[in-house]
């Protein structure tokens, strides 16, 4: 298994593939909701590859000076339980530290918030919100 920072358009396509295969079908998410305004030149992607096949991903982008948001953490169903979600998030955090990000924010689905808690994220005062398909909680971590 290899964890990479996406630098090529073909790698970005791999990240989109994982998101579409694992989330859009299961939750009936429309394409224009899955690929949103944050996906673009200022967005950074991490991709896990099993040999040449994309199997997990996440994205991050700066929301204000020194603060970034991680999102779209997705692992293909047949690769879950292998700590790939943790691996892509850890690589994103490493990259963010390198560029001076001090704090990370996450809008997590309620049912997976414990995944982020295990990685050191804490609930913030913003509480809960409903984002399109999911009920979410807001979490954060100081890097």
- Residue 28: the pLDDT is 80
The CATH number that domain 2-142 falls under is 3.40.630.30
DSSP-derived secondary structure letter, 111: G
Measured between alpha carbons, how far is residue 90 from residues 10, 26, 70, 86 in Å?
A: 22, 26, 11, 6
List per-residue pLDDT tens for the chain, 143 residues long.
999 999 999 999 999 999 999 988 787 887 877 778 788 889 999 999 999 999 999 999 999 999 999 999 999 999 999 999 999 999 999 999 999 999 999 999 899 999 999 999 999 876 666 566 678 899 999 99
Whether residue 55 contacts residue 73, with contact meaning beta carbons closer than 8 Å, is answered with no
Break the chain into its structural domains and give their ranges.
Answer: 2-142
Beta bridge partners of 44: 60
- Residue 132: the pLDDT is 63
Dist CA 101 CA 83 (whole Å): 24
């Amino acid at each position: 298994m290899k964890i990479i920072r996406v630098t090529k358009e073909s790698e970005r396509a791999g990240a989109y593939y994982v998101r579409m295969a694992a989330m859009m079908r299961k939750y009936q998410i429309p394409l224009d909701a899955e690929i949103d305004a944050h996906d673009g030149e200022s967005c950074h992607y991490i991709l896990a590859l099993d040999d040449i096949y994309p199997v997990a991903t996440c994205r991050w982008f700066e929301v204000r000076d020194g603060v970034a948001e991680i999102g779209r953490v997705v692992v293909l169903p047949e690769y879950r339980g292998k700590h790939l979600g943790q691996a892509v998030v850890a690589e994103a955090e490493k990259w963010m530290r390198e560029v001076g990000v001090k704090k990370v924010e996450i809008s997590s689905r309620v049912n997976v918030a414990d995944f982020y808690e295990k990685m050191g994220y804490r609930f913030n005062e913003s509480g809960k919100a409903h984002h399109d398909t999911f009920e979410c909680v807001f979490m954060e971590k100081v890097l």
